[in-house]
Amino acid sequence: MYDRDQLFIDGKWTVPDADSVISVISPHSEAVIGRAACAGPADVNRAVAAARAAFDAGLWPRMQPAERIDALTRLAGIYKERRADMAALISAEIGAPITFAKMAQVRLPLTMISAFCGLAANYEWQQDRPGLYGKDIRVAKRPVGVVAAVVPWNMPQFLTVTKVVPALLAGCSVVLKPAPESVLDAQLLAELVAAADLPPGVLNVVPGGRDVGELLVSHPGIDKVSFTGSTAAGRQVALACAAGPKQVSLELGGKSAAIVLDDADPAAVAAGIQMASLANSGQVCNALSRILVPETRKDEFVDALAAGMESMTVGDPADPNTAIGPLVAQRQQERVRGYIESGKSEGARLVTGGTDMPDGLETGWYVRPTLFSDASNDMRIAREEIFGPVLTVISYRDEDEAIRIANDSEYGLAGSVFTADVDRGYGVAARVRSGTFGVNEGYIMDPAAPFGGVKNSGYGRELGTEGIDSYTVSQSISAAAAQ
């Protein structure tokens, strides 16, 4: 049992003003495994005030970039020492298989901290450029101010690090709002920040539900909101920021397509789809959930996909052999099962999976890896983000039709193409409207490259130098000679 009845505000653990408690329930055992304090309105105000003071009057934004890099490098070292604890905690609270938790939920965020420190060391914090009137103009990158970072539960540490770390490196202060389902790892991160001895107020954590998020993003003391979540919630965040007005970046939903060309190998496609579509039980925003295959080879690809999905071990996330764990909550299990029933009722063919509990499991919010074939792109399972281990195969006649189907979506977060000809793959990528794309793989989230979407998948970019840009404003300076 992990219990934390205090909030991390202004560099210390404090008694919350509210008496509400968040109970974290294991998606596998359905038992309470931890409790954490829930922030109330007064706590949100205190956190924003602390961040405001740290930015307006504190040392952090006035340090040299190298000093902030040293502080975040120190945090990376402490994070590395506690990575096993972090992985176990995330696996327990959201049901991520422990092998995936160690690799993607912890090792990847740790890599991102170090990568951002490297990017910041080479970042062009100021630039002198010739002006039109014969004088040099200095353009300096200044921190945007106090940042509200709102993260969901599915990849909690990765999404936290990709917001908090570049914001801190830029000289901002941050108020972090984790999701109730993944509050325990956020509290552990606060412990690591305290151990790294970062200045008071540069990071504050206010756990809570939608009401806490609404208070935070609409707070007049916030200068910039960085939000990851559903498209519906993102629209509300954008409206709240427009009323400010305040800067906002949104990383929202997806319904990404994998275009399988006629020269692709079925076994290689099946292996690539397993990682790109079913990792974290399909609860990934850039998962490839629409699989577009050539009509002339449809059966080969469907059979290979089904065989691969049926070979995946479903069960206890603490077991290193588990490939598919439970969904995060009962409501999510019910939602995904509803989509499976919808696919059947609309006429898609259920190849494998379904709504029955996996063999040998009596408790937990599980959904078997499910594959539909003979589907069309106008079905709900092809148009709406399911956020579970459900894949939909759609056949096409030629490459032009495949690209038309891929682009026929309100989303544009990711995509991929599988082909024996990489140059042909690059050609396909140029025709698909998405923020990221993979050739013979799902997009790999390289820390050197920007990540984000188009259309209803949001706007703004994380990772790369663009991820630091997101937390800066440009100040242009001209100077006349002294008289």
Q: Which residues are annotated as catalytic?
A: 251
Are residues 6 and 46 in contact, defined by beta-carbon separation less than 8 angstroms?
A: no
Report the distance separating Cα 205 and Cα 406, nearest Å.
Answer: 39
45: tokens are 């105000």
For residues 233 and 69, give the distance between their C-alpha atoms in angstroms, rounded to a whole number.
33
Nearest 10 degrees: CA dihedral of 168, 101, 93, 196?
-30
C-alpha dihedral, 236 to 338 to 288 to 402, nearest 10°: -100
- Tell me how far the alpha carbon of residue 93 is from its chain's centroid: 17
Q: Which residues of 418-447 are buried (b: 16+ CB within 10 A; e: fewer)?
A: bbeeeeebeebbeebebbbbbbbbbbebeb
- What DSSP letter does each residue of 180-199 carry, written as one string? GGGHHHHHHHHHHHHHTTPP
Residue 411 in tokens: 């989303």
End-to-end CA distance of the chain: give it in Å, rounded: 70
- E strands present in 70-150: 126-130, 136-143, 146-150
Q: Give just the sign of the alpha carbon dihedral 405, 306, 153, 366.
A: positive
